[in-house]
Structure 1
Amino acid sequence: MNASFEPLTILPIERALRLVIDRKAEVLEADDARIFRSERDQIAAPLVIRLKRFIHVPRRFRRQVTNTFLFARDGYRCQYCGRHRGLLRGREFLTRDHVTPISRGGENTWDNVVTACSPCNNRKASHLPEECGMHLLKHPHEPNYVELVWAVRRVTDVQAKYIAMFYGEDILEALRRHEHEAEHRHHHGDGERHLSLVM
Protein backbone atom coordinates (compact mmCIF):
# COMPACT_ATOMS: atom_id res chain seq x y z
CA MET A 1 0.00 0.00 0.00
CA ASN A 2 1.02 3.57 -0.53
CA ALA A 3 1.53 5.75 2.53
CA SER A 4 -2.02 6.94 1.85
CA PHE A 5 -3.27 3.32 2.18
CA GLU A 6 -3.95 3.12 -1.57
CA PRO A 7 -3.21 -0.43 -2.79
CA LEU A 8 -0.35 -0.28 -5.29
CA THR A 9 0.85 -3.67 -6.42
CA ILE A 10 1.83 -7.22 -5.47
CA LEU A 11 5.49 -8.13 -4.95
CA PRO A 12 7.47 -11.32 -4.38
CA ILE A 13 7.72 -11.84 -0.64
CA GLU A 14 11.52 -11.51 -0.73
CA ARG A 15 11.21 -7.97 -2.13
CA ALA A 16 8.64 -7.10 0.55
CA LEU A 17 11.02 -8.36 3.23
CA ARG A 18 13.79 -6.16 1.84
CA LEU A 19 11.54 -3.07 2.00
CA VAL A 20 10.69 -3.86 5.63
CA ILE A 21 14.31 -4.58 6.62
CA ASP A 22 15.42 -1.32 4.95
CA ARG A 23 12.71 0.50 6.96
CA LYS A 24 11.01 1.70 3.80
CA ALA A 25 7.78 -0.09 4.68
CA GLU A 26 5.87 -1.33 7.71
CA VAL A 27 4.07 -4.65 8.04
CA LEU A 28 0.27 -4.45 8.37
CA GLU A 29 -0.50 -8.17 8.04
CA ALA A 30 1.86 -11.12 8.45
CA ASP A 31 1.80 -14.90 8.34
CA ASP A 32 3.15 -15.96 11.74
CA ALA A 33 3.37 -19.57 10.57
CA ARG A 34 6.11 -18.66 8.06
CA ILE A 35 9.19 -17.14 9.66
CA PHE A 36 12.22 -15.78 7.80
CA ARG A 37 15.46 -15.73 9.82
CA SER A 38 18.72 -13.86 9.42
CA GLU A 39 21.78 -13.73 11.68
CA ARG A 40 20.16 -11.08 13.88
CA ASP A 41 16.43 -11.08 13.22
CA GLN A 42 13.41 -13.18 12.51
CA ILE A 43 10.42 -11.78 10.63
CA ALA A 44 7.03 -13.29 9.96
CA ALA A 45 6.22 -13.43 6.25
CA PRO A 46 4.64 -10.07 5.32
CA LEU A 47 1.27 -10.37 3.60
CA VAL A 48 0.45 -6.64 3.46
CA ILE A 49 2.97 -3.82 3.78
CA ARG A 50 2.59 -0.04 3.71
CA LEU A 51 5.24 2.26 2.29
CA LYS A 52 6.43 4.93 4.72
CA ARG A 53 6.79 7.56 1.99
CA PHE A 54 4.04 8.45 -0.48
CA ILE A 55 4.67 7.35 -4.08
CA HIS A 56 2.95 9.34 -6.82
CA VAL A 57 1.43 7.19 -9.59
CA PRO A 58 1.25 9.27 -12.82
CA ARG A 59 -2.19 9.48 -14.43
CA ARG A 60 -0.69 8.54 -17.80
CA PHE A 61 0.44 5.21 -16.33
CA ARG A 62 -3.02 4.52 -15.00
CA ARG A 63 -4.48 5.08 -18.47
CA GLN A 64 -2.01 2.89 -20.36
CA VAL A 65 -3.75 0.32 -22.56
CA THR A 66 -2.02 -3.05 -22.92
CA ASN A 67 -3.46 -6.28 -24.30
CA THR A 68 -2.76 -8.05 -21.01
CA PHE A 69 -4.98 -5.65 -19.08
CA LEU A 70 -7.49 -5.25 -21.91
CA PHE A 71 -8.13 -8.99 -22.18
CA ALA A 72 -8.38 -9.25 -18.39
CA ARG A 73 -10.83 -6.32 -18.24
CA ASP A 74 -13.06 -8.11 -20.76
CA GLY A 75 -12.78 -11.48 -19.02
CA TYR A 76 -10.71 -13.02 -21.85
CA ARG A 77 -13.88 -13.05 -23.95
CA CYS A 78 -14.60 -11.68 -27.43
CA GLN A 79 -16.90 -8.70 -26.99
CA TYR A 80 -18.71 -9.46 -30.25
CA CYS A 81 -19.37 -13.22 -30.36
CA GLY A 82 -18.89 -13.87 -26.66
CA ARG A 83 -16.44 -16.75 -27.04
CA HIS A 84 -13.90 -17.22 -24.24
CA ARG A 85 -10.28 -17.69 -25.29
CA GLY A 86 -10.52 -21.30 -24.13
CA LEU A 87 -13.09 -21.91 -26.88
CA LEU A 88 -11.00 -20.51 -29.74
CA ARG A 89 -9.86 -23.09 -32.27
CA GLY A 90 -6.83 -23.69 -34.45
CA ARG A 91 -5.20 -20.41 -35.41
CA GLU A 92 -7.83 -18.20 -33.77
CA PHE A 93 -6.63 -15.86 -31.03
CA LEU A 94 -7.67 -12.77 -29.05
CA THR A 95 -6.91 -9.34 -30.49
CA ARG A 96 -7.41 -5.66 -29.69
CA ASP A 97 -10.21 -4.07 -31.71
CA HIS A 98 -10.85 -0.33 -32.02
CA VAL A 99 -14.63 0.13 -31.94
CA THR A 100 -14.25 3.28 -34.02
CA PRO A 101 -11.30 2.38 -36.28
CA ILE A 102 -8.21 4.56 -36.06
CA SER A 103 -8.51 5.10 -39.83
CA ARG A 104 -11.87 6.79 -39.10
CA GLY A 105 -10.73 8.99 -36.23
CA GLY A 106 -10.89 6.49 -33.36
CA GLU A 107 -8.27 6.56 -30.64
CA ASN A 108 -6.34 3.94 -28.71
CA THR A 109 -8.17 4.68 -25.46
CA TRP A 110 -9.96 2.48 -22.93
CA ASP A 111 -13.40 3.64 -24.08
CA ASN A 112 -12.66 2.72 -27.72
CA VAL A 113 -10.90 -0.65 -27.43
CA VAL A 114 -12.36 -4.09 -26.82
CA THR A 115 -11.21 -7.69 -26.88
CA ALA A 116 -12.14 -9.44 -30.13
CA CYS A 117 -11.36 -12.89 -31.46
CA SER A 118 -9.40 -12.80 -34.70
CA PRO A 119 -12.37 -13.93 -36.88
CA CYS A 120 -14.60 -11.14 -35.50
CA ASN A 121 -11.84 -8.56 -35.85
CA ASN A 122 -11.26 -9.60 -39.47
CA ARG A 123 -14.98 -9.47 -40.18
CA LYS A 124 -15.33 -5.99 -38.68
CA ALA A 125 -12.19 -4.69 -40.42
CA SER A 126 -12.37 -0.87 -40.75
CA HIS A 127 -16.13 -0.64 -40.16
CA LEU A 128 -18.22 0.47 -37.22
CA PRO A 129 -19.89 -2.52 -35.51
CA GLU A 130 -23.39 -1.54 -36.63
CA GLU A 131 -22.27 -1.27 -40.24
CA CYS A 132 -21.61 -5.00 -40.36
CA GLY A 133 -24.38 -6.22 -38.07
CA MET A 134 -22.15 -6.68 -35.03
CA HIS A 135 -23.02 -5.67 -31.47
CA LEU A 136 -20.88 -5.23 -28.36
CA LEU A 137 -21.65 -7.32 -25.29
CA LYS A 138 -20.94 -4.25 -23.14
CA HIS A 139 -19.63 -0.74 -23.66
CA PRO A 140 -15.88 -0.37 -23.03
CA HIS A 141 -14.68 1.68 -20.07
CA GLU A 142 -11.46 2.70 -18.35
CA PRO A 143 -10.91 0.26 -15.48
CA ASN A 144 -9.97 1.39 -12.01
CA TYR A 145 -6.19 1.41 -11.41
CA VAL A 146 -6.41 -1.50 -8.98
CA GLU A 147 -8.18 -3.55 -11.67
CA LEU A 148 -5.33 -2.79 -14.09
CA VAL A 149 -2.67 -3.94 -11.66
CA TRP A 150 -4.43 -7.01 -10.31
CA ALA A 151 -6.72 -8.20 -13.06
CA VAL A 152 -4.19 -10.89 -13.94
CA ARG A 153 -3.22 -11.80 -10.37
CA ARG A 154 -4.77 -13.84 -7.57
CA VAL A 155 -5.92 -11.84 -4.54
CA THR A 156 -5.86 -13.54 -1.14
CA ASP A 157 -8.55 -13.06 1.49
CA VAL A 158 -6.24 -10.89 3.61
CA GLN A 159 -5.36 -8.68 0.63
CA ALA A 160 -9.02 -8.52 -0.40
CA LYS A 161 -9.90 -6.92 2.94
CA TYR A 162 -7.65 -3.94 2.19
CA ILE A 163 -8.80 -3.61 -1.40
CA ALA A 164 -12.43 -3.49 -0.29
CA MET A 165 -11.55 -1.01 2.47
CA PHE A 166 -9.94 1.45 0.06
CA TYR A 167 -11.85 0.93 -3.20
CA GLY A 168 -15.15 -0.65 -2.14
CA GLU A 169 -16.82 -4.01 -2.66
CA ASP A 170 -17.61 -3.38 -6.34
CA ILE A 171 -13.93 -3.24 -7.27
CA LEU A 172 -13.24 -6.32 -5.18
CA GLU A 173 -15.98 -8.16 -7.08
CA ALA A 174 -14.42 -7.09 -10.40
CA LEU A 175 -11.17 -8.70 -9.30
CA ARG A 176 -12.91 -11.85 -8.10
CA ARG A 177 -14.34 -12.32 -11.59
CA HIS A 178 -10.82 -12.91 -12.85
CA GLU A 179 -9.81 -15.47 -10.23
CA HIS A 180 -10.86 -18.43 -12.36
CA GLU A 181 -8.19 -17.29 -14.86
CA ALA A 182 -5.55 -17.37 -12.12
CA GLU A 183 -6.70 -20.87 -11.21
CA HIS A 184 -6.44 -21.89 -14.86
CA ARG A 185 -2.85 -20.63 -15.09
CA HIS A 186 -1.91 -22.35 -11.84
CA HIS A 187 -3.22 -25.72 -13.01
CA HIS A 188 -1.26 -25.40 -16.25
CA GLY A 189 2.16 -25.23 -14.71
CA ASP A 190 2.77 -21.63 -13.67
CA GLY A 191 3.30 -22.83 -10.10
CA GLU A 192 2.67 -21.09 -6.81
CA ARG A 193 4.57 -17.96 -5.83
CA HIS A 194 4.44 -16.30 -2.43
CA LEU A 195 3.46 -12.65 -2.89
CA SER A 196 2.97 -9.64 -0.66
CA LEU A 197 0.56 -6.77 -1.17
CA VAL A 198 2.20 -3.35 -1.24
CA MET A 199 -0.02 -0.56 -0.05
Structure 2
Amino acid sequence: MPTMTTARATRRGCLTLNASYEPLVMLPVQRAVRLVMDGRAELVEAHGTRVVRSAGREVPLPAVIRLVRFVYVPRRMRRGVTNTILFARDGYACAYCGRPRDALRSREFLTRDHVLPQSRFARRAEANTWDNCVTACSTCNHRKADRTPQEAGMALRLVPAEPHFVHLEWSVRRLTALQRKYVAQFFGTDVADAL
Protein backbone atom coordinates (compact mmCIF):
# COMPACT_ATOMS: atom_id res chain seq x y z
CA MET A 1 0.00 0.00 0.00
CA PRO A 2 1.55 3.37 -1.02
CA THR A 3 2.08 6.03 1.59
CA MET A 4 0.06 9.25 1.34
CA THR A 5 3.22 11.16 0.43
CA THR A 6 4.04 8.77 -2.42
CA ALA A 7 0.47 8.82 -3.72
CA ARG A 8 0.42 12.64 -3.70
CA ALA A 9 3.80 12.77 -5.45
CA THR A 10 2.69 10.43 -8.24
CA ARG A 11 -0.39 12.59 -8.91
CA ARG A 12 1.97 15.50 -9.49
CA GLY A 13 3.70 13.58 -12.25
CA CYS A 14 7.25 12.91 -13.27
CA LEU A 15 9.84 15.60 -14.01
CA THR A 16 11.39 14.95 -17.41
CA LEU A 17 14.92 16.16 -18.06
CA ASN A 18 16.57 16.62 -21.43
CA ALA A 19 19.73 14.60 -22.15
CA SER A 20 21.62 17.69 -20.89
CA TYR A 21 19.71 17.53 -17.57
CA GLU A 22 17.65 20.61 -18.48
CA PRO A 23 14.16 20.33 -16.97
CA LEU A 24 11.69 20.04 -19.86
CA VAL A 25 8.20 19.11 -18.75
CA MET A 26 6.07 17.28 -16.20
CA LEU A 27 4.72 14.03 -17.62
CA PRO A 28 2.08 11.67 -16.28
CA VAL A 29 3.80 8.84 -14.42
CA GLN A 30 2.36 6.25 -16.81
CA ARG A 31 3.98 8.02 -19.81
CA ALA A 32 7.30 8.25 -17.94
CA VAL A 33 7.20 4.51 -17.18
CA ARG A 34 6.60 3.76 -20.87
CA LEU A 35 9.57 5.94 -21.91
CA VAL A 36 11.83 4.13 -19.43
CA MET A 37 10.59 0.68 -20.50
CA ASP A 38 11.03 1.58 -24.19
CA GLY A 39 14.62 2.67 -23.54
CA ARG A 40 13.96 6.29 -24.62
CA ALA A 41 14.60 7.59 -21.08
CA GLU A 42 16.52 6.54 -18.02
CA LEU A 43 15.40 6.64 -14.41
CA VAL A 44 17.15 9.34 -12.35
CA GLU A 45 15.04 9.38 -9.16
CA ALA A 46 12.19 7.16 -7.97
CA HIS A 47 9.12 7.76 -5.79
CA GLY A 48 9.99 5.69 -2.73
CA THR A 49 10.06 1.92 -3.11
CA ARG A 50 6.99 1.50 -5.34
CA VAL A 51 7.52 -0.40 -8.59
CA VAL A 52 5.65 -0.97 -11.83
CA ARG A 53 5.74 -4.49 -13.22
CA SER A 54 5.29 -5.78 -16.74
CA ALA A 55 5.41 -9.35 -17.95
CA GLY A 56 9.19 -9.46 -17.92
CA ARG A 57 10.33 -6.29 -16.19
CA GLU A 58 10.13 -4.30 -13.01
CA VAL A 59 10.70 -0.52 -12.95
CA PRO A 60 10.72 1.75 -9.88
CA LEU A 61 7.96 4.38 -10.02
CA PRO A 62 9.74 7.39 -11.57
CA ALA A 63 9.88 10.86 -9.99
CA VAL A 64 12.57 12.17 -12.36
CA ILE A 65 13.63 10.72 -15.72
CA ARG A 66 16.21 11.85 -18.30
CA LEU A 67 15.73 11.48 -22.05
CA VAL A 68 18.44 9.43 -23.75
CA ARG A 69 18.50 11.71 -26.83
CA PHE A 70 18.76 15.49 -26.69
CA VAL A 71 15.60 17.40 -27.71
CA TYR A 72 16.10 20.91 -29.06
CA VAL A 73 13.85 23.45 -27.31
CA PRO A 74 13.79 27.02 -28.66
CA ARG A 75 14.14 29.56 -25.84
CA ARG A 76 12.78 32.56 -27.71
CA MET A 77 9.20 31.59 -27.07
CA ARG A 78 6.99 34.48 -26.02
CA ARG A 79 3.88 33.72 -24.08
CA GLY A 80 0.99 36.08 -23.80
CA VAL A 81 -0.12 37.32 -20.41
CA THR A 82 -2.29 34.83 -18.54
CA ASN A 83 -3.72 35.43 -15.08
CA THR A 84 -2.25 32.16 -13.80
CA ILE A 85 1.33 33.13 -14.63
CA LEU A 86 0.76 36.85 -13.89
CA PHE A 87 -0.44 36.08 -10.36
CA ALA A 88 2.49 33.69 -9.84
CA ARG A 89 4.95 36.31 -11.14
CA ASP A 90 3.61 38.85 -8.63
CA GLY A 91 3.64 36.38 -5.73
CA TYR A 92 -0.18 36.15 -5.50
CA ALA A 93 -0.28 39.61 -3.92
CA CYS A 94 -1.70 42.98 -4.91
CA ALA A 95 0.86 45.21 -6.64
CA TYR A 96 -0.70 48.28 -4.99
CA CYS A 97 -1.60 47.45 -1.38
CA GLY A 98 0.63 44.38 -1.08
CA ARG A 99 -2.02 42.13 0.49
CA PRO A 100 -1.57 38.45 -0.38
CA ARG A 101 -4.45 36.39 -1.73
CA ASP A 102 -5.17 34.72 1.62
CA ALA A 103 -5.50 38.13 3.34
CA LEU A 104 -8.32 39.33 1.07
CA ARG A 105 -11.83 39.67 2.48
CA SER A 106 -14.63 37.30 1.44
CA ARG A 107 -15.83 39.31 -1.59
CA GLU A 108 -12.38 40.40 -2.75
CA PHE A 109 -10.30 38.53 -5.29
CA LEU A 110 -7.18 38.98 -7.41
CA THR A 111 -7.58 40.63 -10.83
CA ARG A 112 -5.44 41.74 -13.74
CA ASP A 113 -4.80 45.48 -13.81
CA HIS A 114 -3.40 47.45 -16.74
CA VAL A 115 -0.92 50.06 -15.48
CA LEU A 116 -1.68 52.22 -18.50
CA PRO A 117 -5.45 51.67 -18.96
CA GLN A 118 -6.73 49.77 -21.99
CA SER A 119 -8.71 52.84 -23.08
CA ARG A 120 -5.40 54.61 -23.88
CA PHE A 121 -4.51 52.08 -26.58
CA ALA A 122 -5.77 51.99 -30.17
CA ARG A 123 -6.32 48.24 -29.81
CA ARG A 124 -7.04 46.52 -26.50
CA ALA A 125 -4.64 43.68 -27.30
CA GLU A 126 -1.72 46.15 -27.20
CA ALA A 127 -2.43 46.77 -23.50
CA ASN A 128 -1.91 43.10 -22.57
CA THR A 129 1.87 43.03 -22.27
CA TRP A 130 3.97 41.80 -19.36
CA ASP A 131 5.28 45.30 -18.63
CA ASN A 132 1.77 46.82 -18.56
CA CYS A 133 -0.05 44.20 -16.46
CA VAL A 134 0.09 43.65 -12.71
CA THR A 135 -1.86 41.69 -10.13
CA ALA A 136 -4.33 43.85 -8.19
CA CYS A 137 -6.93 43.04 -5.58
CA SER A 138 -10.45 43.87 -6.74
CA THR A 139 -10.64 46.80 -4.30
CA CYS A 140 -7.48 48.49 -5.61
CA ASN A 141 -8.41 47.76 -9.22
CA HIS A 142 -11.81 49.38 -8.68
CA ARG A 143 -10.25 52.37 -6.90
CA LYS A 144 -7.70 52.90 -9.69
CA ALA A 145 -10.43 52.55 -12.34
CA ASP A 146 -9.53 53.93 -15.78
CA ARG A 147 -6.53 55.97 -14.58
CA THR A 148 -2.79 55.52 -14.32
CA PRO A 149 -1.41 54.83 -10.83
CA GLN A 150 -0.10 58.42 -10.67
CA GLU A 151 -3.52 59.85 -11.59
CA ALA A 152 -5.16 57.67 -8.94
CA GLY A 153 -2.57 58.59 -6.28
CA MET A 154 -1.44 54.95 -5.97
CA ALA A 155 2.08 53.53 -6.02
CA LEU A 156 3.20 50.28 -7.61
CA ARG A 157 5.16 48.02 -5.27
CA LEU A 158 6.94 46.31 -8.17
CA VAL A 159 8.23 47.02 -11.66
CA PRO A 160 6.26 44.84 -14.09
CA ALA A 161 8.43 42.90 -16.55
CA GLU A 162 8.27 39.76 -18.64
CA PRO A 163 9.16 36.82 -16.40
CA HIS A 164 12.15 34.60 -17.11
CA PHE A 165 11.11 31.65 -19.29
CA VAL A 166 11.80 29.33 -16.35
CA HIS A 167 9.08 31.10 -14.39
CA LEU A 168 6.73 30.89 -17.37
CA GLU A 169 7.25 27.15 -17.49
CA TRP A 170 7.68 26.13 -13.86
CA SER A 171 5.99 28.70 -11.59
CA VAL A 172 2.57 27.06 -11.79
CA ARG A 173 3.81 23.46 -11.67
CA ARG A 174 3.49 21.48 -8.48
CA LEU A 175 6.97 20.11 -7.93
CA THR A 176 8.09 17.90 -5.09
CA ALA A 177 11.21 18.94 -3.18
CA LEU A 178 13.14 16.25 -5.06
CA GLN A 179 11.99 17.57 -8.46
CA ARG A 180 12.61 21.21 -7.46
CA LYS A 181 16.23 20.22 -6.73
CA TYR A 182 16.80 19.47 -10.43
CA VAL A 183 15.28 22.78 -11.55
CA ALA A 184 17.62 24.55 -9.08
CA GLN A 185 20.67 22.56 -10.23
CA PHE A 186 20.17 23.47 -13.87
CA PHE A 187 18.88 27.07 -13.67
CA GLY A 188 20.42 28.13 -10.33
CA THR A 189 19.01 28.41 -6.85
CA ASP A 190 18.11 32.10 -7.26
CA VAL A 191 15.79 31.25 -10.17
CA ALA A 192 14.33 28.21 -8.39
CA ASP A 193 13.75 30.15 -5.16
CA ALA A 194 11.62 32.66 -7.07
CA LEU A 195 9.25 29.90 -8.21
Normalising to structure 2: TM-score of the pair? 0.79
Question: C-alpha offsets along residues 42-93 of structure 1, whole Å, 9 cap, x if unaligned?
Answer: 1012121223241424634x43321111111111111111112222223321
The residue identity in structure 1 corresponding to 2:140 is C
The residue identity in structure 2 corresponding to 1:167 is F
- Cα distance in structure 2, aligned partners of 1:41 and 1:97: 54
Tell me what 2:8 maps to.
Answer: none
Q: What does residue range 177-192 of structure 1 map to in structure 2 within 5 Å?
A: none
Tell me what 1:78 maps to.
Answer: 94
- Cα distance in structure 2, aligned partners of 1:79 and 1:25: 43
- Cα distance in structure 1, aligned partners of 2:58 and 2:110: 47
Gaps of 5+ in 2: 1-16
The residue identity in structure 2 corresponding to 1:149 is E
Change in CA separation of 1:18 and 1:65 when aligned onto 2, cut-off 3 Å = farther
Tell me what 1:129 maps to.
Answer: 149
- Cα distance in structure 1, aligned partners of 2:76 and 2:119: 27
Identity fraction in percent: 57
Gaps of 5+ in 1: 176-199
Tell me what 2:31 maps to.
Answer: 15
For this pair of structures, how many residues does the alignment match? Answer: 174
Normalising to structure 1: TM-score of the pair? 0.77
Give 1:22 deviation, angstroms. Answer: 3.1
Give 1:32 deviation, angstroms. Answer: 5.6
- Cα distance in structure 1, aligned partners of 2:65 and 2:168: 20
- Cα distance in structure 2, aligned partners of 1:85 and 1:158: 27
Higher-Rg member (1/2): 2
Structure with higher RCO (Cα < 8 A, 6+ apart): 1
2:44 to 15, 22, 28: 28
| Residues 1:54 and 2:74 are matched in the alignment | no
Q: Secondary structure at the match of 1:89?
A: coil
Root-mean-square deviation (Å): 2.0
- Cα distance in structure 2, aligned partners of 1:63 and 1:53: 24
Tell me what 1:192 maps to.
Answer: none
The residue identity in structure 1 corresponding to 2:105 is R
| 8 Å Cα contact 1:111-1:141 kept in structure 2 | yes
The residue identity in structure 1 corresponding to 2:186 is F
Deviates more, 1:149-158 or 1:66-75: 149-158
- Cα distance in structure 2, aligned partners of 1:134 and 1:10: 40
Question: C-alpha offsets along residues 79-125 of structure 1, whole Å, 9 cap, x if unaligned?
Answer: 11111222222332111111112222363121211101112112212
2:61 to 32, 45, 66: 45
Tell me what 1:3 maps to.
Answer: 19
- Cα distance in structure 2, aligned partners of 1:55 and 1:26: 18
| 8 Å Cα contact 1:3-1:55 kept in structure 2 | no
Tell me what 1:169 maps to.
Answer: 189
| 8 Å Cα contact 2:75-2:165 kept in structure 1 | no
| 8 Å Cα contact 1:4-1:54 kept in structure 2 | no
2:176 to 156, 171, 186: 156
The ranges of structure 1 where at least 4 consecutive aligned residues each deviate by more than 4 angstroms after the TM superposition are none
